[in-house]
Structure 1
């Protein structure tokens, strides 16, 4: 269970006592728990959506989105901004792309990417009655793709934030992904459609990262989560 607490501490801003992390064997032990953390985030959002079921759609969508960002500490949005700046400013060069990605400052492209992704999420949330299955399906698969990424893609930045996650047991991660898919299918047709949408988004971004960088970084993984969540919310709202 130490990996579970470590995953919660890394992916969310949910307060945990320091003793919850005592005895954690390695940073990589948390990777298989990522889909479960996504389900936890989704469950909290679903409960909030239920409480807001009587509010106007726009207000409910805004409050849900604020809670979503607050729960994650904008961790993945930061990766999205850095990746967007680097992809445009890198001009196709690997080293230049990595250097820009490491810069903590955000340029206009990064800010624009965040605004567009949040706008898509807000519009999708406002388009369906709350609570909706999308509130737990999107965070679940948005973290499951991170587990899949670390299983299948080289990590190219030594000493980076995600370097300690490399080395998790492939068998354990595969079981976690299988369970994530099974749980997603409990949403019925919406769950099946979510998996069908998430798979090509993952494949596209992985191919893009391999072509430009030869692998992934923590920032590109954050962008992957944001791309996946936005695509799922839009697909489920349409």
Structure 2
């Protein structure tokens, strides 16, 4: 159990964990159920940073929070967002061409634009959140990583290899419990938690449908794109209400 948690922490963040845990295939598969907890851990760190920066200018504070967010996660999902944006535009509806573009490590114009827009949305939303900024910073990374759990247990992984291949055999029961606990945490946040959960489910459903239609499933890059879209959408939704 502890090894699988360490795998999840080591994969989703840049926090140091023993390198040996990644040699355990069973721990890799079981790590998926811990993703929401790691998302909550990220949120706690961000909320603490927001408290420390509470007397700073709002734009500066929001920018530093997003910077810390990127550094803590190693821009893992941002990379997937950029690759997915390039592939969706350049693939022109063709499955094989879309998959080929996603494997290209270079970023094209669509990827760059997607990164800029998502980061700007996050900074603007965090700046606008006001009193409940800490709550949004907890919910956004939590729900983003819960959406990855949902994606893996409901949707085919279309590559035989890749970072997500090891998660294809994740235990369904543990993942279902993890998702139920995520929903329970959202319930504790009352209507704001319900709104965040609703937005996350909506983004998940739309992106899953798009991936199914284009690819017949998903890849690690499209999973990363989903996490970024859920984070941005949750922050924006809570900022405008």
Higher mean Cα deviation, 96-105 or 49-58? 49-58
Q: Which position in structure 2 is the counterpart of 1:93? A: 94
TM-score, scaled relative to structure 1: 0.97
> Would the aligned equivalents of 1:3 and 1:29 in 2 still touch at CA under 8 Å?
yes
Residues 45 and 85 of structure 1, relative CA distance in 2, 3 Å threshold? same
Instruction: Write the deviation string for residues 32-87 of structure 1: whole angstroms up to 9, x where unpaired.
Output: 00000000000000111111111111111011000000110000000000000000
Aligned length: 238
Q: For 2:24 and 2:212, how far apart are their aligned partners in 1?
A: 35
Residues 22 and 208 of structure 1, relative CA distance in 2, 3 Å threshold? closer
Structure 2, unpaired ranges of 5+: none
* Aligned-residue offset at 1:16: 2.1
Q: Which position in structure 2 is the counterpart of 1:27? A: 28
Q: Which position in structure 2 is the counterpart of 1:59? A: 60
* Aligned-residue offset at 1:169: 1.2
> Would the aligned equivalents of 1:2 and 1:22 in 2 still touch at CA under 8 Å?
no
> Would the aligned equivalents of 1:38 and 1:141 in 2 still touch at CA under 8 Å?
yes
Instruction: Write the deviation string for residues 191-220 of structure 1: whole angstroms up to 9, x where unpaired.
Output: 111011111100000000000000000000
Q: Which position in structure 1 is the counterpart of 2:233? A: 231
Residues 2 and 236 of structure 1, relative CA distance in 2, 3 Å threshold? same
Runs (4+) of structure 1 exceeding 3 A deviation are 17-24
**What is the alpha-carbon root mean square deviation over aligned residues?**
1.3
Are 1:199 and 2:207 counterparts? no
Q: Which position in structure 2 is the counterpart of 1:178? A: 180
Higher mean Cα deviation, 16-25 or 83-92? 16-25
Residues 190 and 54 of structure 1, relative CA distance in 2, 3 Å threshold? same
TM-score, scaled relative to structure 2: 0.95
Instruction: Write the deviation string for residues 83-124 of structure 1: whole angstroms up to 9, x where unpaired.
Output: 000000000000000000000000011000000000100100
**TM alignment of 1:140-219, pairs within 5 A:** 140-219=142-221
Structure 1, unpaired ranges of 5+: none
